[in-house]
Structure 1
Amino acid sequence: MSHLNLRTWIAEHGCPVVLDGAMGTLLQERGWNPPALPEEMNLTSPKIVRDIHASYAVAGANIVETNSFGANPIKLASRNLDGKAREINAIAASLAKEAAGDRLLVAGSVGPLGSLVEPLGELSFEDAVSAFKEQIAGLAEGGADFILIETMIDLREAKAAVLAAKEVAPCLPFVVSFTFENNGRTLTGTPPEVAAHWARAIGASAVGVNCGSGPEEYIAVVDCLAHHAGIPIFVYPNAGLPGSQEYWDPERFSRAGRHLVEAGASVVGGCCGTTPQHIESLARAIRTLSLPHIKEIQGSPLCSISRLGLAGAEYPLLVIGERINVSRPSALREEVSRYEWNVLKKEAREQEEAGAHAIDINVSLPQIDGSRAMREAVLAAESATMLPLSLDSDNMDAIEAGLRIASGIPLINSVTAKGESLERGIALAAKYGACLVVLLLDERGILEDADKRISVARRVCECADALGFPRKRLFLDALTLSVGSDDNAARVTLETVRRIRSLGACSILGISNVSYGLPQRPLINRTFLAMAMAAGLDAVIADPLDSNLMETIAAGNLLVKRDRGASAFIAFASRGKGKKEEDTTGKEAIPQDQMLRAAIIRGEEDMASSLASALIGSGMPSMKLIDEVLVPALNVVGELYECGDYFLPQLMSSAKAAQAALAALEEGFSAGEKSLQKGTIVMATVEGDLHDIGKNLVALVLRSHGYNVIDLGKDVPLDAILKCATDERADVIGLSSLMTTTTKEMARAVSAVREKKLPFRVIVGGAAVTEEFAKHIGADGYAPDAVGAVKLVEALLSNVGRGEGK
C-alpha cells in the first residue's frame, strides 16, 4: 500500500475508523520494566509485541500502531542502541504487519525526540530531521502503510518529522497529531486552529490530537480542528488523566468516544491506560455512527507557531509589514551586514504592536551569505514577534533556507509567472507548507492592460492545478506602477485586482510604487489602497507604522463589509484615541530600571545584561534591583503566561533575559552583599524516564528568579539524587516524570526522605503527575508548570532568609 490514499480509505470505510489503544500499558503487564525502553521488546520479545497487535485487531481496531514511539536515535542512545534505530523500526513495522494482515492498516508511530529543537533547546533543526529520517526509513522498510507523527507539542519539531517523512518516504501518507494542554494549546503555544491549517498546508492526510487530558477535555479541541482542518481528524486520548489513581473503565471511555465522533473525529482510538477491552467497547459504541462531514475551508492561511491570519473575501485586509528591508541604507542594513539582529527584532515588535498581521523579511545583501542571513533572520524575528513571516528575496536558495526553519505557514515573496521560476516556487511552497506570491509578470515583461495580466494569472492558476497546489495559497500580485509615468497604471492594476477573485486565488499589492516621483506620496498611497480594497484586494505589503494608512485600512474594512458589527473599527478607534492623548503629554527619557523591566518582559538578553551592569555601576544595590525590577518583571511574564498571552517561547526568552541580568549582577554586586541566591534546588527526572523538556524549563525559570538550581538530568537513580541534595545542602528536591510507569520512583523518593528524616522539601511535576497523586505520595507540593513551580518554591521557602543558608 505504498501509494495508499489515506483520506479516500477513511471515506470509503463508511463509519468512524477505530485506532488501537496503548502499547506501553500492555507491555508493562507482560514483562517490560524501565530503564529498558519499550521499543527494545521488538528485539527481545517480538512475540509479545505481535500478540498485543493481534489483540487489538481482535478487539475491532482498523488501524494498529507500531511499537516505535520512541525508537529514534536520540532516545535509543541512552541504551547504546542508536546504531540500531533503523532495524528496530523496521522490525516494529513488520511485527504490526504480520498481526494486521491484509484487513488492517499499520501506522508507523513517530513520537517526540525528547529534546527541544532550536531555538527553544539545544538540538539543531537539521539534527532533528536526521534523527526522524532514520526512524521513518525503518518504518517504511518494514511495511508501514502510513506515518503517524504523534504527541507533538512543538510545531517546529513536527515540521522536522514531516520533512523527514517527505524526504525518505515520499510515497507514504502521513498524519500529524498534537497534545494539547488544558488551556487548549500545546506546551509551546499552538492552538488547534493553527495546527489544523498547518497540517493541511504541509500535506498531511489527517490531523489529530492524542494523549494529554482525558476524552472529555478534547471534545472542544476536536470541534475546533473540524472547523479549520478540511481533512479527517484523528483523536485518541488517554483513559483519563495519567497520574490519577484509576483510569476510566471501557464503558465510560467508549461513551466519550461517541461524543468525539459527534464533534468531528473520523478516527478514534486510545492512548495511555487503554486496553483491548477499551477498544472493543469503543468499536461497539461508534459503529452505528456516520462519518463526520469534512468541512470545506474558506480563506487563505498564514500562521506562526501561535497566531493565525486569514486572507479572502470574508476576512479583513491582511497587512504585511514592509519595514524589515535592506534595500535602502539604514541602521538595519548595517546590522544585517554583520549578521546582527537587534534592529530587526525591534522593527518586528513595533510592526506587530502597530497592527500588522505578518512581517516581511528582506535581508538580501550582495556581500553576505544570503542563506545564512535568511535563516538567522527568521529565528530572530520569531523570537521577537508571534506573527507569521513573509520571506522576501530573489534568491530562491535563501528563500528555501528560511522556509526550512520557519514555523507555521510562511509566505514566499516572490516569484514571477515565468515557467521555471513559477514551478520552483510552487514546489517549495508545497514541500514546506507555504503560501506563494506570484508577480503577474512573464517572459514578455510588464503587460500594459488588465486582460493580458489576467491571462497570465489564469496560466499561473492552471499551472498550480496541474501540480496539485491549491489556488487558495496563491497570492497574485497585480503589479503597482507609478501614475507619474503612466496615468493609466492605477486603473489597470485595480481592474486586475477586481478580476483575480474569480480565479479562486488571493490578490496582493505593494502600494508605494504608485506615487513614485510625485508630491504628497502618503496621500496618494492610502487613496490608492482604499480604491484597491473596494476592488477586492486581499493583502497589502505596507508600513503599519503609518497611522494614517492604518486608519484607512480600518475604515475600509468596515465599508467593504469585512468588519461585521464594526467591532474591529471601534477597537482601532479606541486605541488611536488613547495614543493621541498619551502623545500630548510629551516624551521623557525612560529610566534605566524601567528599560530593564521591559527588556526582561520582552526577552532581550543582551539589553538586559547591559542595563543591569549599568544600574549596578550607577550604585543601585543588587538586592534592590532584584526585588524592585527583576522579580516584578518576571511576575508580569508569569501573569501573561497564565492568562494565555505568552507561551513557552516567550516564557523561556524572558527567563534567559533575567538570567543574563542576574549574571551581570553577580559580577558587580557590592562587597557588603553576601549572595544573590535565594535557595538551592536539586532537579532530576526520575530513574527510568528519559524525558526532561518540562524539567529543563522549570530549572531555567527558577534560575531566572535567583535560585541555585542543580540539574542532574534524566534517568537519575534515587541514591544519586539524595546524595547530591545532601552534599549541596539543598532546600528543595524537584522530581519530574512523563511516564506513568516511573511515577513510582517519586513515591520511593518521598518515602526515603521521610524515613531518613532528611531536611528537604520534595516537589513533583510532569505529564504523568497530578495534584491528587502528589498528595497521595506525601510530596510537599505539585507544580503543573514552570510558573507554578516558582510560586510553590517561594511559598515553601518563605520562612528561609535570603542568603542565610541552613
Structure 2
Amino acid sequence: MTRYDEIKNAILNASKEKILFIDGAMGTMIQRHHLTEDDFRNESLKDHKKPLKGNNDLLSLTRPDIILEIHREYLEAGSDFIETNTFSGTTIAQDDYGCCHLVYDINFVGAQLARKAVDEYNKKTPNRRRFVCGALGPTNKTLSISPSVEKPEFRNITFQELASAYLEQAKALYEGGVDIFLIETIFDTANAKACIFALKTLFEDSNYPEIPIFISGTIVDLSGRTLSGQTGEGFLISTRHASPLAIGLNCALGAEEMRPFIEAISRNTQSNLVICYPNAGLPNALGGYDETPEMMAKSVSELARNGLVNIIGGCCGTTPDHIKALNDSCKNIKPRIFDDNNIPHFDTLSLSGLEPSYITKNSNFINIGERCNVSGSKRFCNLIKKDNYEEALNVARIQVENGAQIIDINLDDGLLDGKYCMSKFLRLIASEPEIAKVPLCVDSSDFDVIIAGLEAAQGKCIVNSISLKEGEENFIKKAKLIQKYGGAIVVMAFDELGQAAETDRKFEICKRSYDILVSKKVGMNPNDIIFDPNILTIGTGMEEHSKYAIYFIDVCRLIKANLPGARISGGISNISFSFRGMEVLREAMHSVFLYHAIQAGLDMGIVNAGSLPLYSEIDKNLLNLCEDLIFDRDPDATEKMLLMAQKLTKKDNSNENEENLKNLRLQKTPEERLVDALVKGVDMYVVEDTEECRQNLIKYPRPLNVIEGPLMNGMKVVGELFGAGKMFLPQVIKSARVMKKAVAHLIPYMDAEREKRLKEQGFIDNDNPYNGTIVIATVKGDVHDIGKNIVGVVLGCNNFKVVDLGVMTPSEKIIKAAIDEKADFIGASGLITPSLDEMVHLAKEMQRNNLKIPLLIGGATTSKTHTAVKINHRYDGPVIHCLDASKSVVVVSSLLDEKTKEEFLDDLKEDYESICEEYYESLKERRFITLKEARSRKVDFDWNNHISYKPTFIGSKSFNDISLENLIPYIDWKPFFDVWQLRGKYPNRAYPNIFNDSDVGNEAKKVFEDAKKMLQDIIDNKILSVKAIIGFYKCASTNNDDIVLYDENNKIIDTLHGLRQQCDKEHDQKCYCISDFIRPLTVDGVVDDYIGMFACSVGFGVDELCHKYEKIEYDDYKSIMLKAIADRLSEALAEYIHKIVRTDLWGYSKNEDLKNSDLLSIKYQGIRPAPGYPVQPDHQEKVTIWNIMDVEEKTGIKLTESLAMEPASSVSALMFANPHSSYFSLGKINKDQIEDYATRKKQSIDLVEKWLEPNLGYETV
C-alpha cells in the first residue's frame, strides 16, 4: 500500500465514525504570550537588520517551546489535525522580513514540532490517530489582481515564481514529516493553482511519494466570492485537478455567514470530505473576535447536524476552548456521507471563469466566441498590433453580451509575441468581471503560448489544441502538462500521418487519442476531452472534398457512441471557406451544417452564432442548395451556390428602398409581426406593433392580453426552435430583449389599469390592496428571467404584490425576503439544468427555516416529474410545478381560497404519488450475479481424461537468435496498410487482395514495395534484432480463480490472478475465467498442469533511427515506415514464438499443419491472452511475468509506471495448452469481486479499482 493510500484510508475510516476536528488559530494563541522582539531572535538573528516581531513562522526556530505547547493544547482539546506553523513559510512572504535564507528551516522544523506533538498523542491513544497538516498559505501576492490601478495587466509575481516558492516550502514540510498538504486561505485561485502545480511537481520525484491534499478557500464577503472575484463553485472546478481529499472554506467569515457557501461546496464537490474552519464570528470595531466557544459551537454544529461537513475547526480568533466546545457539541452527530453512486457533476465537462460552467449531455449547443482571434478577425488583429487592448477587450465583452458561453483567444501571428500578448490579454480580462465570468479557450499552435495562457487564468480553461502529429510521446507529455495546470483538452484528428479527412480515419485517431488519455499513461477524466475531428472545406470543386461535411457528421455519431464522456467541437466557418466574401451564403451554410451536426452529437463550436439565420427562416432554395452541398447530393451544387451568391449580391445592390420593405412588413397582421420580431430578435418596430395590438380593445381589452396572446405565442415559437437546435443561445437572448421591450411598453398601462381598479374598489394608499404577496427569483447560478418576469407581470396584473429578487439569487436571500415581506408564496425559476439542484436546496432550506408557505417551481428545465420525485419530499409545505404564467394565477388563487385549497392539495398529493410510483418502477438496474454464483457457473472439464503435456524445460530461456527472415511469413500485413489509411473495399480488404482495389490498390502496391525494400535493408544490415524470453511453469488452479505457479520441486513461486465474468446471463451460460483452463491439484495433491509465458521485442534501436530520419534526414515517411514494420515484426515474432511453443518447445500440437490465414483466424489449439486485454484486463499481471522470468534483466524490455512495455514494438502474453481454452471478454464486474480480488492480491480496493476502472460495474469516488 502506498503512503497516500495508507493516510487516505486512515482518514476516511475515521471520518465514517465521527466528525473530525482541525485545530484553531495559531496567531491568536501566540498573541496570548505577549512576545517581544527578542522572542523572534535567536543567536543567528541577534544582529538581523530588519524588525522580526510579527513573523510568527520564525518562532518555530526561536521559541519552539511555545509552538510545541500550542500544538499540545489543541490536541488536548480534541483536534485530529494539527497545522504546522508555516502559513507564511515561503520566500515570497519571508522576503518582507529578510528571512528568505531561513525558509527551509522554518518549514522543516515547523513540521517536526507538529510531528512531535502528534506522535506523543498518538502514542497515548493508539486507537485514535491524529495527522499533521503542512500549512501552505496564500502568500502576500496575487496572480489575478494588479497592485497598480493604472496598469491592470501588471503583476508583481509570475506563476512559475510562485510555484517555485511553494515547491521549496513543500519539500521542507515533506522532509519534516507532514501527512497532508493543506493549501489554505485561498483568496486567489490562481495562487492555489500554482501551489497545486508545485505539489504535482514534487510528487513526480520518486523521493517524495504522493500524500493527500486538503484545499481551503476564503470567501471574503457575503457576495460569495473570493478576493479575485471567483464564486465558490468556480473555485471548486478550478482546483479539482488536485484531487483533494478534503475541500472547503476558512477565514474571513463566521460560521453563520459562511453557511450558504459551505453548503454550495458540500453539494457540488467531488472530494470525499468537506472541511470548514471559520473565524470566531466577524471582527469587531477593534479587529477582535467576539464569538465565545459556546456561540461558535452552536452555529458550527448546525453545519455538522445538516450533513454539510466532515472536518470542522477554527480560524482567526479561535482557541483550544473553541475546539473543545466544537468537540462537545458534535460528539453525537453523524458525519456527512459522500455518496459514491451520486457524485456531483460526474458526467459533466466542468469549466470555470469567475463562475462555473457545466456542460452535460443534455446541454444545448455551446457557443464559443470566435472574434478574439487574430487569424479570424482582421479588426481584432489590428487592435492587438496597435496595442489597443482596451478596445480588444470590448470585442470580448460584446461576445459575452451576445451569448458566447466560452471565449476562444488566439494570438498566433508572425508579427506578435504570442506569449507576451496572451499573458497581457488574459490578465486584462481578469480585471473585467463581465468577461472573466465565462471560461476561456486558450488557442494556439505554439505550446509555449498555451502555457502562458494557462498560467494567466485562474479558472479552468480549455486548451485548443494538441494532437498525435508529433507522436504519442509528445502527445502524452503535453496532455500531462495541461492536466497539471488543470485544463480541459481539445484533441485534433491529426496524427503522425497527417490530418484525417475520412470518417474511419478521423475516428481511428480520436479513439487512439482517447485510449491514451484515459489510460494510466495520462489518467484524464473523459469529460475533459473534447475532440475536433476537423471541419474541412467543401465546395472547392475537387471531388475528393465533396464528402467532408458528411465525414464530420458521421464521425460525431461514432464518437458519441464509442467514446463515453468525450465532447465534440469544431471551427464552423471552415466549412464555407470556398465562398469567402459571400457572407449571406456562408451564414446560411453555417446554420444548416450546425443544425445537422448538432443532431449528430456536436456539443460546441467556434462560431459567431449571433449572426446566423434561423434554419427555419432560410430561403427554401438556398436551404436546399446548402443541403445538396453538405450531403453531396448534387455534383453541380458548388456551381449552383455560386450562381445563388451572384443573385444575392445583385439583390443586396438593388434599389429596394426602406419604404418597399415597410410596405411588405405591413402586409402582415400586428400579431404576426410581433411573432416575427421575437423569432428574429429584431426590435425596430416592436413598440409600434405592441401598441397597435394594445389599442385593439375588442381583441385585447386589457394590456395583459397582449402579453398572453401574441407575445407569448412568439416566445413559444422561440422555445420550440431552441429546443430543436434550430436557434442558438445568442438568438434566444435577442428574442428576450425584444420581449422585454414590448413588456416595458405595456407596464405603464397595466400599472394605470391596476390603480384605476383599486380606486374603483375603494382602496386607499395606506390599505393593503393586494390579494397576496409572492417573492419570485431566478435561483442561484441561473441568469434566465424571461419566464419569471412574465409571471411577475401576470400576477401583478391580477392584484398580487410581486417582490422580484432578480437572477442568481441564493436561497438564503429568497427566504429572508419571504420572511421580511410576510410572503404567501415563493416562486423559483430556472432555465439551466443545475438550477434543478438549487431548487432542491431551496426546498431543504425552507424546511430548515420552518416555513410553510407554498413553493412554486417553474422554468424550461423543470418538470412535474422532477418536482414530484426530487423536490416535494424535501419540504413539508406545498410544492407545485407551474407550467406557464397563466397556470400560476390558477395555482395561487386556488391556494389562497380556503374553499378550494384542501381539494387542490389532495389532488396534488395523489398526482405526485402516482408520478413517483411510475418513476421508480421505470428504473432498471444493471444486473450482476454474485461472485459465488459466477464461480458456480465456471467451465468444468473432465480432468480425468485430460492430457497435460510437459514442456521441454521448466523455467525460462532467452531466444535472441531468431532470424528476422523467419518472421516474414508470419507478418499480418493488413494492420500495416491501416497505418497508411489504405483500406480496400470488399472483397479487396485484406492482403494481398487490397492490390486489386480500384481506389487504393495502386497506392498500396507502392507503399508495399517501399516496405519490402526497407525490410530487406533491416535484415541485410542487421538494423533490428530479436529479443525474446519464453518460460514454462508447473501450475494448478484454485477455487478462487487463481493460478498458482510451481518450480520443478513443486515449490510455490508466484500466483497469477484471474477475473471471472459476472454480468447476468442465461442460466445455462458459463462465466469464464482464465483459471478454468488450468487443472486443479489432483485428489492426491499432485501438480499436473503447465502454463507458458513470453515477452518479445523487435523494437530496440527503432527510436534512435527514427530520430535520425526525422531530425537529420527530415524523412518522416521513412520514420513511419520503420515503426510500422517494427510493429509488424514484433507481432510476427509473437506468432512465431507461439507456433514453436505449440509444435516443439511444449509440443502439445506437434502435427499442426496450418496456413498463415489459419493462424490469423485462431484455428490453432490453445490461447495466448495478454494481460491488460479483455481476458484479464489487469495490467498488473505483467509484473508477475516480469518478476518470474526476470524479463528486464534478460531482454531489456521494461515496464513503465503505467505498465506499458518499452520499446513500444513489444509483445507479452500467457500461453494455455488446453484444447478447450478460448478467448473471451471479461466485461463489467461488481464490487464483491473487486473486494475479493483485492484480498487475493493483497492490495487496497482503491488501487484495484484504479487498474480495473473500465471494467467496474459500479461508480467509484
Please report how far the alpha carbon of residue 559 of structure 1 lies from its aligned counterpart in structure 2 after TM superposition: 5.4
2:1075 aligned partner: none
CA contact (8 A) 1:312 1:506 kept: no
Q: Deviations over 1:317-360 (max 9, x none)?
A: 22111112222682433444466534432221221121111111
Given the alignment of the two structures, is residue 125 of structure 1 paired with residue 287 of structure 2, yes or no? no
Closer/same/farther in 2, CA of residues 329 and 389 from structure 1, 3 Å limit: closer
Closer/same/farther in 2, CA of residues 285 and 133 from structure 1, 3 Å limit: same
1:376 aligned partner: 424
Closer/same/farther in 2, CA of residues 125 and 196 from structure 1, 3 Å limit: same
2:246 aligned partner: 206
Given the alignment of the two structures, is residue 438 of structure 1 paired with residue 491 of structure 2, yes or no? yes
Given the alignment of the two structures, is residue 21 of structure 1 paired with residue 24 of structure 2, yes or no? yes
CA contact (8 A) 1:310 1:318 kept: no
Given the alignment of the two structures, is residue 46 of structure 1 paired with residue 64 of structure 2, yes or no? yes
Taking the TM superposition and a 5 Å limit, the aligned residue runs for 1:207-606 are 207-231=247-271, 232-243=273-284, 247-261=290-304, 262-288=306-332, 289-294=334-339, 295-298=343-346, 299-304=348-353, 306-327=354-375, 330-337=378-385, 341-384=389-432, 385-386=435-436, 387-418=438-469, 419-466=472-519, 467-485=522-540, 486-502=545-561, 503-518=564-579, 520-546=585-611, 548=613, 571-576=733-738
Please report how far the alpha carbon of residue 568 of structure 1 lies from its aligned counterpart in structure 2 after TM superposition: 9.4
Q: Deviations over 1:660-709 (max 9, x none)?
A: xxxxxxxxxxxxxxxxxxxxxxxxxxxxxxxxxxxxxxxxxxxxxxxxxx
CA contact (8 A) 2:249 2:276 kept: yes
Please report how far the alpha carbon of residue 251 of structure 1 lies from its aligned counterpart in structure 2 after TM superposition: 3.5
CA contact (8 A) 1:6 1:205 kept: no
Query: Which one of the candidate residues 105, 112, 121 is aligned to 2:131?
Result: 105
Closer/same/farther in 2, CA of residues 74 and 483 from structure 1, 3 Å limit: closer
Q: Distance in 2 between matches of 1:144 and 1:263?
A: 29
Letter aligned with residue 96 of structure 1: A
Closer/same/farther in 2, CA of residues 237 and 334 from structure 1, 3 Å limit: same
Query: Which one of the candidate residues 141, 144, 151 is aligned to 2:175?
Result: 141
Which structure's relative contact order is higher, taking Cα pairs within 8 Å and 6+ residues apart? 1
What TM-score comes out, normalization by structure 2 length? 0.43
2:225 aligned partner: 185
Q: Distance in 2 between matches of 1:562 and 1:156?
A: 39
2:100 aligned partner: 82
Letter aligned with residue 555 of structure 2: T
In the alignment of these two chains, the number of paired residues is 583
Please report how far the alpha carbon of residue 552 of structure 1 lies from its aligned counterpart in structure 2 after TM superposition: 9.7
Please report how far the alpha carbon of residue 202 of structure 1 lies from its aligned counterpart in structure 2 after TM superposition: 4.5
Letter aligned with residue 315 of structure 2: C
Letter aligned with residue 593 of structure 2: F
Closer/same/farther in 2, CA of residues 369 and 9 from structure 1, 3 Å limit: farther
Please report how far the alpha carbon of residue 383 of structure 1 lies from its aligned counterpart in structure 2 after TM superposition: 3.6
Q: Distance in 2 between matches of 1:92 and 1:151?
A: 19
CA contact (8 A) 2:145 2:228 kept: no
Q: Distance in 1 between matches of 2:258 and 2:466?
A: 41
Letter aligned with residue 83 of structure 1: H
Closer/same/farther in 2, CA of residues 569 and 359 from structure 1, 3 Å limit: closer
2:813 aligned partner: none
Helix, strand or coil at the partner of 1:212: strand
- Runs of at least 5 residues in structure 1 that lack an aligned partner in the other structure: 583-641, 646-806
Q: Deviations over 1:401-460 (max 9, x none)?
A: 221222211110011244244313311221111110001232343445444433333322
1:717 aligned partner: none
Letter aligned with residue 517 of structure 2: A
CA contact (8 A) 1:482 1:489 kept: yes
Q: Distance in 2 between matches of 1:549 and 1:436?
A: 30
Q: Distance in 1 between matches of 2:302 and 2:601?
A: 41
Closer/same/farther in 2, CA of residues 36 and 219 from structure 1, 3 Å limit: closer
Helix, strand or coil at the partner of 1:189: coil
Please report how far the alpha carbon of residue 570 of structure 1 lies from its aligned counterpart in structure 2 after TM superposition: 6.2
Closer/same/farther in 2, CA of residues 552 and 574 from structure 1, 3 Å limit: closer
Letter aligned with residue 457 of structure 2: A
- Runs of at least 5 residues in structure 2 that lack an aligned partner in the other structure: 38-52, 123-128, 148-154, 205-209, 616-678, 682-714, 745-805, 810-1261
Closer/same/farther in 2, CA of residues 29 and 562 from structure 1, 3 Å limit: farther
CA contact (8 A) 2:25 2:317 kept: yes
Q: Distance in 2 between matches of 1:430 and 1:558?
A: 39
Helix, strand or coil at the partner of 1:224: helix
Helix, strand or coil at the partner of 2:371: strand
CA contact (8 A) 1:22 1:275 kept: yes
Letter aligned with residue 149 of structure 1: I
Q: Distance in 2 between matches of 1:28 and 1:511?
A: 62
Letter aligned with residue 424 of structure 1: K
Q: Distance in 2 between matches of 1:33 and 1:193?
A: 43
Q: Distance in 1 between matches of 2:557 and 2:88?
A: 52
Q: Distance in 2 between matches of 1:270 and 1:479?
A: 53
Report the more deviating stretch, 132-141 or 44-53. Answer: 132-141
Letter aligned with residue 82 of structure 1: C
1:61 aligned partner: 79
Helix, strand or coil at the partner of 1:280: helix
Q: Distance in 1 between matches of 2:178 and 2:408?
A: 40
CA contact (8 A) 1:226 1:265 kept: yes
Report the more deviating stretch, 241-250 or 201-210. Answer: 241-250
Taking the TM superposition and a 5 Å limit, the aligned residue runs for 1:661-740 are none
Closer/same/farther in 2, CA of residues 435 and 451 from structure 1, 3 Å limit: same
Helix, strand or coil at the partner of 1:194: helix
Q: Distance in 2 between matches of 1:32 and 1:556?
A: 70
Q: Distance in 2 between matches of 1:479 and 1:465?
A: 21
Q: Distance in 1 between matches of 2:721 and 2:87?
A: 53
Closer/same/farther in 2, CA of residues 644 and 315 from structure 1, 3 Å limit: closer
Q: Which has the larger radius of gyration?
A: 2
Percent pairwise identity: 28
CA contact (8 A) 1:32 1:38 kept: no
Give the root-mean-square deviation of aligned CA atoms.
Answer: 3.4
Q: Distance in 2 between matches of 1:190 and 1:184?
A: 8
Letter aligned with residue 365 of structure 1: D
Q: Distance in 1 between matches of 2:250 and 2:36?
A: 24
What TM-score comes out, normalization by structure 1 length? 0.66
1:598 aligned partner: none
Please report how far the alpha carbon of residue 216 of structure 1 lies from its aligned counterpart in structure 2 after TM superposition: 1.9
Closer/same/farther in 2, CA of residues 392 and 8 from structure 1, 3 Å limit: farther
Q: Distance in 2 between matches of 1:285 and 1:497?
A: 56
Query: Which one of the candidate residues 187, 198, 201 is aligned to 1:153?
Result: 187
Helix, strand or coil at the partner of 1:376: helix
Q: Deviations over 1:103-149 (max 9, x none)?
A: 32211112232234464225222443344333333222322222212
Please report how far the alpha carbon of residue 297 of structure 1 lies from its aligned counterpart in structure 2 after TM superposition: 1.8
Please report how far the alpha carbon of residue 511 of structure 1 lies from its aligned counterpart in structure 2 after TM superposition: 1.1
Q: Distance in 1 between matches of 2:724 and 2:65?
A: 61
